Structure 1
Amino acid sequence: MRALLIDPRTGGISGDMLAAALADLTGSAEPLERLGAAIAALPGCAEFSVRLEEADGGVRARRLAFKVREKPAGSDGDLAAALAQVAASVGLSAWGRERAERVLGDLLAAERRLHPTGFSRHAVASADTIFDILAPLLLIEEAGLAGCQVHATPPALGGGLIPTGGGTVGGPAPAALEICAAHRIPVAESSLSMELTTPTGAALLANLAVVADRFPAMTPIRTGYGAGTRPNGAGANILRVVECETSDLVEERIVLLETNLDDISGEVVAHALGRLLEEGAIDVFVTPAIGKKNRPVQVISVITDRERYARLLTVLMEETGTLGVRVREEPRLVADRRRETVEVVVGGRTFPVRVKTSRACGRVIAVKPEYEDMRQIARERGITLREVAREVERCLPAPGGGGDQE
């Protein structure tokens, strides 16, 4: 399936860099010119034009050059209304409008947290912000990539001194770091003393891509390179994008908790597993092993997500008394899974049964009814679980069908 890779781990990312890279990828600047004309038509904008030009930063890339004259930015509502007006004017789809609103929401939330008495115009200025948000989304749509999987590597944030509306602070840019923290985006180190990832760039990544520390398994189709507008003397202020073909497996980020136990009863382990599942663990399992001094140990492994891992770590330590837990985050590829409720007839009565359908490689690979629902039917009808399972399977599509099955 088609996908897009965004690679900001060396040069960082901003809205204009991503737009330049996508324009280089597609070979078309027309959407940018159309967007610039729509922004120039705003009542508060006296002039807005954009030009795509060549940039030499160690590799051939494209850079955007702007001419902007506007009145001072208004309220948050004015900015949101102008964003919506321009998005409608250029024909951005519901997919693009929804993401544009979320990106702007992240920018404003970060600024309000960092500047409680009023947001900083340095970070949120109307015409620039509208262009930086909408241009990448418009180009993604024009390339036919809207709705496709978007992968990204961890962005390099940069360092040095960063000017803000309240003065100069040490890098990385506080609002960019705030957005990465809010979305738990992993970041990359950089020795460059300059801002590499802007708040808008961080917000675009947060609302478009799954960020992982490696490239997905892919077949590259075409590439694009976008340069930042400020030279850094190192030629590294370059953002790379890749249109590619990937598997239709879904990439997720999981957190794995593990601990070794050598002095605990089976009853305590069983209770701990139950508590972990009750608290929302995706899966919990126990592996027998041999530990130090050749003693038998039990390794408890807990699969969870970023939101729940801190709570589950506490439960694991409280219930087992372990002195340490290994924590690591890693990606996993899973089949696309859909859950629905179907009506099945067992013994002349109709029952609702939840069913999970899994798809991969363009076809259905598994159709699994919910065990608890079948067990309840077996109890109510006074028959065996195997009999219920046979009746339920007759009502379900067989695995191996085409990808358009529902």
Structure 2
Amino acid sequence: MRALLIDPRGGGISGDMLAAALADLTGSAAPLEHLGAAIAALPGCEEFSVGLEEVDGGVRARRLAIRLREKPAGSDGDLAAALADVAASVGLSTWGRERAGRVLADLLAAERRLHPSGFSRHAVASADTIFDILAPLLLMEESGLSRCPVLATPPALGGGEIRTGGGTVGGPAPAALEICAAHHIPVAESPLTMELTTPTGAALLANLAVVADRFPAMTPVRTGYGAGTRPNGNGVSILRVVEGEVSDLVEERIVMLETNLDDISGEVVAHALGRLLEEGATDAFITPAIGKKNRPVQVLTVNTDREHFSRLLGVLMEETGTLGVRVREEPRLVADRRREALEIPIGGRTFLVRVKTSRACGRVIAVKPEYEDMRQIARELGISLREVAWEVERHLPGPGA
């Protein structure tokens, strides 16, 4: 299965570095020129042009050369509206527009937390930020990489002194660190005393890729190298991207919550499991065990993601009264899953049934209709769930298809 790897372990990541690396990988700069023209047409932009040049940063790499003149930045709402206008102008898909919105939301949230009196224009400029967000998304979409799994290694954040709108602080860049913390992204060490990962780079990584602690097993097909615009003392910082073939088992990261329960009733445990699933847990289950003083205990385990784990942690403690919860984030390999709604004739009528198809090792291994859909059909027709399941199964492709 085709996949994209973003590798910022050595040189960090920024929006322009990722765009340059993707342009180097795909061999196409036309989407960047199209985007530059759309940004230049914004009311507050007096000049915007972009070019792609070749540099030697230890390896041959591409670097963006941008010329920008603009009026002072407006409000958060103005920036979001301008981002949406440009995304629509260049024909970015729903996938791209949604991710662009999430990246900008992460940037603004980090800046508001770090600068409560007003976000820093140093970190969130207008035309420059719009380009840094949209350029990688547009390149991925134009090359078909937006339809592939995106993996990443931990980014090097850098150190030294970082200039912000309110003064100089020690590295890494506070907003980049804030975004990595919000998304629980592991980071890499670097001896370089400069900013390597920008806030925009961190937000792009958080919203595009599954970040793992290791370089994934893959068969490389082609590579691309994007250079930063500032010297690092030994040349320039380099971001590497790799397109390759990976197993069609998809790697994702899950958050696991776990606690031991030894002094609550089964009814309370059952209610807690129900609440956790209602609040967005991927799974929740009980494992019997023996605890301290050889007392029987129940180990309650909850699987979730970064987005929901804080809320589920609160639900778990509220419903069980546990005094401590173990939290760990782990990668897992899962079958590639596709969900679609199929029209199924049952009892002289046609119903939409959501179906999940799972693939692994190049073949379909499971086709599973949505239980809630079948239960609703059974109620509407006044027949058993088993009869509905039989009819649905007759119209589904079998495993191995």
Bin of the TM-score, shorter chain as denominator length: 0.7 to 0.9
CA distance, structure 1, for counterparts of residue 85 and residue 247 of structure 2: 37
1:265-302 deviations in whole A, cap 9, x for unaligned? 55554444344334443222222334456555433222
Give 1:70's aligned residue: 69
1:343-392 deviations in whole A, cap 9, x for unaligned? 553xx575958543223146543333455665677788887654554344
Q: Secondary structure at the match of 1:301?
A: strand
Measured at CA, do residues 302 and 63 of structure 1 come closer, stay the same or move farther in structure 2, by a change above 3 Å? same
Give 1:154's aligned residue: 154
Query: Which 10-residue stretch deviates more, 77-86 or 317-326?
Result: 77-86
Give 2:51's aligned residue: 50
Query: Which 10-residue stretch deviates more, 147-156 or 8-17?
Result: 147-156
Query: Does 2:130 align with 1:134?
Result: no
CA distance, structure 2, for counterparts of residue 93 and residue 19 of structure 1: 18
Q: Secondary structure at the match of 1:75?
A: coil
Measured at CA, do residues 11 and 287 of structure 1 come closer, stay the same or move farther in structure 2, by a change above 3 Å? same
Query: Which 10-residue stretch deviates more, 100-109 or 212-221?
Result: 100-109
Tell me by how many angstroms 1:25 deviates: 2.0
Query: Which 10-residue stretch deviates more, 148-157 or 74-83?
Result: 74-83
Amino acid aligned to 1:201 = G
Q: Secondary structure at the match of 1:10?
A: coil
Tell me by how many angstroms 1:241 deviates: 0.7
Measured at CA, do residues 42 and 64 of structure 1 come closer, stay the same or move farther in structure 2, by a change above 3 Å? farther
1:72-97 deviations in whole A, cap 9, x for unaligned? 33424665676567667766556545
Number of residue equivalences = 397
RMSD: 3.9
Query: Does 2:324 align with 1:324?
Result: yes
CA distance, structure 1, for counterparts of residue 82 and residue 378 of structure 2: 59
Amino acid aligned to 1:7 = D
Measured at CA, do residues 289 and 351 of structure 1 come closer, stay the same or move farther in structure 2, by a change above 3 Å? farther
- Percent sequence identity is 75
Amino acid aligned to 1:54 = V
Tell me by how many angstroms 1:191 deviates: 4.4
Q: Secondary structure at the match of 1:229?
A: strand
Measured at CA, do residues 231 and 400 of structure 1 come closer, stay the same or move farther in structure 2, by a change above 3 Å? same
Q: Secondary structure at the match of 2:135?
A: helix
Q: Is the 8 A contact 1:355 1:367 kept in 2?
A: no
Measured at CA, do residues 397 and 90 of structure 1 come closer, stay the same or move farther in structure 2, by a change above 3 Å? closer
Q: Secondary structure at the match of 1:23?
A: helix
TM alignment of 1:243-392, pairs within 5 A:
243-262=243-262, 266-292=266-292, 296-332=296-332, 333-338=334-339, 340=341, 345=346, 354-361=353-360, 363-371=363-371, 386-387=386-387, 389-392=389-392
Give 2:187's aligned residue: 187
Measured at CA, do residues 270 and 80 of structure 1 come closer, stay the same or move farther in structure 2, by a change above 3 Å? closer
Amino acid aligned to 1:123 = A
Q: Is the 8 A contact 2:353 2:374 kept in 1?
A: no
Query: Does 2:23 align with 1:23?
Result: yes
CA distance, structure 2, for counterparts of residue 229 and residue 220 of structure 1: 27
Amino acid aligned to 1:214 = R
Give 2:204's aligned residue: 204
Amino acid aligned to 2:399 = G
Q: Is the 8 A contact 1:283 1:302 kept in 2?
A: yes
Query: Which 10-residue stretch deviates more, 14-23 or 83-92?
Result: 83-92
Tell me by how many angstroms 1:243 deviates: 0.6
Q: Secondary structure at the match of 1:194?
A: coil
Measured at CA, do residues 36 and 400 of structure 1 come closer, stay the same or move farther in structure 2, by a change above 3 Å? same
Q: Which has the larger Rg?
A: 1
Tell me by how many angstroms 1:244 deviates: 1.4
Amino acid aligned to 2:55 = E
Q: TM-score, normalised by structure 2?
A: 0.79
Measured at CA, do residues 112 and 215 of structure 1 come closer, stay the same or move farther in structure 2, by a change above 3 Å? same
Measured at CA, do residues 260 and 83 of structure 1 come closer, stay the same or move farther in structure 2, by a change above 3 Å? closer
Q: Is the 8 A contact 2:254 2:303 kept in 1?
A: yes
Query: Which 10-residue stretch deviates more, 240-249 or 227-236?
Result: 227-236
Q: Is the 8 A contact 2:21 2:240 kept in 1?
A: yes
Tell me by how many angstroms 1:327 deviates: 1.4
Tell me by how many angstroms 1:6 deviates: 0.8
* Unpaired stretches in structure 1, ≥5 consecutive residues: none
Measured at CA, do residues 41 and 357 of structure 1 come closer, stay the same or move farther in structure 2, by a change above 3 Å? closer
